[in-house]
Amino acid sequence: MKNYPSKILSAMLFVSLIFLACAVLAQTMTPQDALTQYISDLQKNPNDNALREKIIKHVQTMKPALAVPEDAERFVARGIAAMKGAKSAGDFKDAVKEFEKASLSAPWLANVYYNLGVAQDNAGMYADAIKSLKLYLLAAPNASDAASVKNLIYEIEYR
């Protein structure tokens, strides 16, 4: 019976060490690992604008700057092509779909949100356009066109 308390103490110490090791491993997640997890979460819930904002802010702290994924470039090019050929609100909705795909592939890219916002505005999706343009301003805080984008937001609000 004398060994019983020491066995309990040893077991408690062992469990504590396991928890400590897990905590240390969790803290060693790299910024790229965190980004990968955030993007995975966003792809499961594409309407989570708070997560988009978190991703944008996270990427702004990463060095060096991230490369643009090929998928994002392809979807942006397709969205621009759809906008060039658009003649109706429905045509602009096709562009919106392409830019939304790009925003899931590279949710930190400012130009994706700008183009998405313009396409949404032309498609009559005003509330979504405002959200996208605000994400653009967050992703490009020093953009030379920030004042004109803010004015565009105000115009869309009026509509």
**For residues 66-89, average pLDDT:** 94
Q: For residue 152, give the nearest of 134, 34, 138, 64 by alpha carbon.
A: 134
pLDDT grade for 25, boundaries at 50, 70 and 90: low
82-93 tens-digit pLDDT = 999 999 999 999
Q: What is the pLDDT of residue 159?
A: 84
How far, in Å, CA of 118 to CA of 100, rounded? 12
Q: In sequence order, which residues have a C-beta less than 8 Å from that of residue 30 and are 6 or more positions away?
A: none
